[in-house]
């Protein structure tokens, strides 16, 4: 019976544990705690800054799909129980509200849902009608009630995708003094609240934010360390049935540079490929399998790569990326050669460095991530 069960198991398709396109929640086993450049867990760094008596606002900064939202969704189990995460997605109904009553109601609702989900902490209720006559005053009174409910706990107000709110201000939907002034007042006068912004841009790129939020402490979320990346490839969940040849794992690391989203994207396509193969070879991923999965990964992940094109680089930067991509895998192009082809484009070059799309190596530049280079090499020329 055991032998028959093993035969049946080997003929089954491999379950795909990877999550593509949406942030990970606290219920999903695949989540890997990110670390900073020094090897310290990001959650530990956030905890240290939250306990700073100066009440400085924080910015969780990193590339798109680097795991910022997934980390925020999991802070409830990573931070001490005395810190109550209140996660607000500014890309959703908050920034698209038609008036301030809707704007503040959506913030309060998100705060309440998050604190209940992550910490089983119930906030006082606030209905939309209460906010109609004088929304900011009523919201401020509700925050008084929240502070009383917190007692000795700390509320971490995590505002994800802050660029979406800036866009709403630019479009004239909200006034910057009303919104950012409220945020500054909360930081300065409510000691039980800590504010964390998350985004793929720095505060300095949005001058109005820089003038309201002084001394922002940046927490940089970047690529996984190799140990965490290997775990995500070889053992994303318990009892994972796919094994990798050593050179296949190394190739995934080379192609993705330990970028958490790109690892999941490529590995998901490797599993899809293996499930189409004969059961006798299904459970072992080879170097050839990794290479064969690349084209479909680039296609399935096109929304990720297209976002880089649309939101992470200007026209000069895109031209630079296309030029670098055409040089081939791992190619280093000297600064002199770049400036000969693109005179007076040093600002665009610096922006690409800041966005972590390219890196400086041996007095030249190259793509940081091979999969991103391949997409630009194959797609940008026809877009």
DSSP class per residue in 212-256: HSTTPEEEE--PPPHHHHHHHHH-SSTT---EE-HHHHHHHHHHH
- Assess whether 337 and 253 both reside in one domain: no
Quick one: tokens of 261?
């989203």
State the residue for tokens 């080997």.
10
Domain identity same for 321 and 280: no
pLDDT for 381 equals 46
Domain limit, last residue, from 276, 300, 324: 300
In this structure, which long-range contacts are made by residues 301-305, counting pairs with CB atoms below 8 Å and at least 24 apart in sequence?
A: 301/20, 301/261, 301/262, 301/265, 301/375, 302/375, 302/379, 303/21, 304/64, 304/65, 304/261, 304/262, 304/265, 305/372, 305/375, 305/376, 305/379
State the CATH number of the domain containing residue 261: 1.10.8
Question: Which of 4-18, 29-43, 64-78 has the weakest average pLDDT?
Answer: 29-43
How would DSSP label each residue in 42-102?
HHHHHHHHHT-TT---EEEE--TTSSHHHHHHHHHHHS-TTEEEEEEEIIIIIHH-SSHHH
The whole domain housing 265 covers 224-300
The C-alpha atoms of residue 294 and residue 315 are separated, in whole angstroms, by 27
Encoding tokens for residue 15?
């379950």
Output the pLDDT for position 249. Answer: 97
Please report, for the domain that includes residue 336, its CATH number.
Answer: 1.10.10.10
Q: Which residue has the tokens 């990877």?
A: 18
pLDDT band at 269 (very low <50, low <70, confident <90, very high): very high
Q: What is the DSSP string of 324-346?
A: HHTT-TT--EEHHHHHHHSTT-H
Q: Does a structural domain hold residue 21?
A: no
Q: Which pTM value belongs to this model?
A: 0.77
Boundary (domain end) residue, out of 266, 300, 334 = 300
Lowest mean pLDDT among 11-25, 151-165, 178-192: 11-25
Does the residue 305 lie in any domain?
Answer: no
Residue 195 has pLDDT above 70, yes or no: yes
User: Does residue 18 lie in a domain region?
Assistant: no
Average pLDDT over residues 74-80: 85
Q: Does residue 189 share a domain with residue 254?
A: no
| Domain stop point among 300, 331, 361 | 300
With respect to residue 246, please indicate whether it lies within any of the assigned structural domains. yes
Confidence grade of residue 69 (pLDDT, cut at 50, 70, 90): confident
* pLDDT score, position 383: 40
Number of other CB atoms surrounding residue 47 within 10 Å:
16
Q: Are residues 75 and 214 in the same domain?
A: yes
Quick: pLDDT tens for 21-67: 655 454 545 556 565 555 567 888 888 888 877 778 888 888 778 77
pLDDT score at 31? 59
pLDDT grade for 231, boundaries at 50, 70 and 90: very high
* 3-state SS class at 23: coil
Tally of CB atoms within 10 A around 147: 15
Instruction: Give me the mean pLDDT over the 285-304 stretch.
Output: 95
Residue 37 lies in a domain: no
Exposure of 355 in the CB half-sphere (CA atoms within 13 A): 24
- Of 222, 189, 266, which Cα lies nearest the Cα of 357? 222
Tell me what the pLDDT averaged over the chain comes to: 87
Same domain, 214 and 229: no
Q: Does residue 166 sit in the same domain as residue 257?
A: no
**Sheet of strand 333-334, all strands in order from the earlier edge strand to the far edge:** 333-334, 364-367, 358-361
Same domain, 198 and 319: no
Same domain, 290 and 343: no
Q: Are residues 131 and 259 in the same domain?
A: no
Same domain, 234 and 136: no
Name the domain count of the chain. Answer: 3
How far is the first Cα of the chain from the last one, in angstroms, to the nearest whole number?
57
Please identify which residue in the block is written with the tokens 């797609």.
379
The predicted-structure confidence for 304-335, as pLDDT tens digits, reads as follows 998 888 888 888 999 999 999 999 999 999 98
* Residue 244 and residue 319 in one domain: no
233 and 212 in a single domain? The answer is no
Give the integer Cα–Cα distance in Å for 33 and 24: 11
Would residue 5 count as lying in a domain?
no
Q: Which residues, in sequence order, are bridge partners of residue 197?
A: 59, 159
């Amino acid at each position: 019976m055991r032998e028959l069960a093993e035969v049946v198991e080997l003929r089954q398709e491999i379950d795909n544990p990877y999550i593509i396109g949406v942030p990970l929640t606290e219920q999903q086993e695949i989540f890997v705690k990110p670390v900073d450049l020094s090897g310290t867990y990001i959650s530990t760094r956030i905890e240290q800054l939250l306990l700073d008596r100066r009440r400085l606002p924080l910015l969780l900064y990193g590339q798109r799909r680097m795991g910022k939202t997934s980390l925020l969704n999991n802070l409830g189990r990573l931070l001490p129980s005395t810190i109550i995460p209140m996660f607000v997605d500014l890309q959703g109904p908050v920034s698209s509200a038609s008036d301030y009553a809707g704007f503040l109601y959506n913030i309060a609702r998100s705060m309440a849902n998050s604190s209940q989900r992550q910490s089983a902490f119930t906030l006082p209720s606030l209905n939309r009608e209460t906010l109609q006559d004088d929304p900011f005053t009523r919201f401020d009174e509700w925050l008084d009630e929240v502070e009383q409910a917190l007692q000795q706990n700390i509320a971490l107000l995590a505002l994800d995708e802050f660029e979406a709110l800036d866009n709403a201000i630019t479009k004239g939907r909200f006034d910057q003094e009303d919104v950012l002034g409220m945020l500054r007042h909360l930081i300065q006068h409510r000691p039980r609240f800590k504010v964390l912004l998350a985004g793929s841009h720095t505060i300095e790129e949005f001058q109005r934010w820089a003038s309201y939020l002084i001394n922002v402490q940046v927490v940089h979320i970047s690529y996984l360390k190799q140990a965490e990346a290997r775990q995500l490839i070889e053992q994303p969940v318990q009892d994972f049935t796919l094994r990798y040849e050593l050179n296949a794992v190394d190739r995934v690391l080379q192609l993705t540079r330990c970028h958490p989203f790109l690892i999941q994207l490529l590995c998901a396509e490797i599993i899809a490929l293996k499930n189409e193969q004969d059961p006798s070879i299904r459970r072992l991923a080879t170097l050839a399998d990794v290479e064969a999965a690349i084209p479909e990964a680039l296609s399935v992940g096109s929304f990720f790569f297209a976002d880089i094109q649309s939101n992470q680089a200007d026209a000069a930067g895109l031209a630079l990326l296309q030029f670098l991509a055409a040089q081939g895998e791992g190619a280093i192009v000297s600064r002199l050669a770049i400036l000969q082809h693109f005179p007076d484009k040093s600002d665009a070059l610096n922006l690409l460095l800041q966005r972590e799309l390219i890196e400086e190596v041996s007095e030249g530049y190259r793509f940081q991530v091979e999969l991103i280079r391949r997409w630009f090499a194959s797609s940008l020329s026809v877009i």
